[in-house]
Amino acid sequence: MLRERQNTAFSFILDEHMFKRCTGGPEITRELIDQILELGSLRNVEIQLLPLSRGVHAGLNGPMMLLETPQNQWYGYIEGQETGQLISDPKTISVLQMRYAKLRSQALTPEDSASLLKQLRGAL
């Protein structure tokens, strides 16, 4: 979808921790980093890393997704280990958008994120 919808902007904030965990071993983690770097080079994709050094951050309540439709309607999706929830309430969406904005300010720039990913890859 990221390659097919070149006029749609995609923005991701990833926790550095997911790369340090090394799930699947070093080779799998290298492949993951390579794929993230490749996707981040697409003009419609922005990837930011949230470094471990930030400590407490606005995303500690778990993953969230925000989506704007072509009709400018916003939706959110949050999930936990045994549950997921689609959100359409404008007040709740506003809270999620504020959290996402805070996360973006706490995360590294896309350029610094790519640099950190390359450092992490080299350390494997």
Structural domain boundaries enclosing 84? 57-106
What does the pLDDT look like over 52-107, one tens digit per residue?
988 888 888 888 999 999 999 999 999 988 899 999 999 999 999 999 999 999 99
| Reported pTM | 0.86
Mean pLDDT over residues 5-28, rounded?
Answer: 92
| Statement to judge: residues 93 and 119 lie in one domain | no
> Does residue 23 sit in the same domain as residue 40?
yes
Do 42 and 85 lie in one domain? The reply is no
Does residue 111 share a domain with residue 101? no
Average pLDDT over every residue of 17-40 = 94
113-118 contact pairs (CB < 8 A, 24+)? 113/40, 113/47, 113/48, 113/49, 114/37, 114/40, 114/47, 116/16, 116/49, 116/51, 117/19, 117/33, 117/36, 117/37, 117/49, 118/33, 118/37
Report the number of distinct structural domains present in the chain.
2
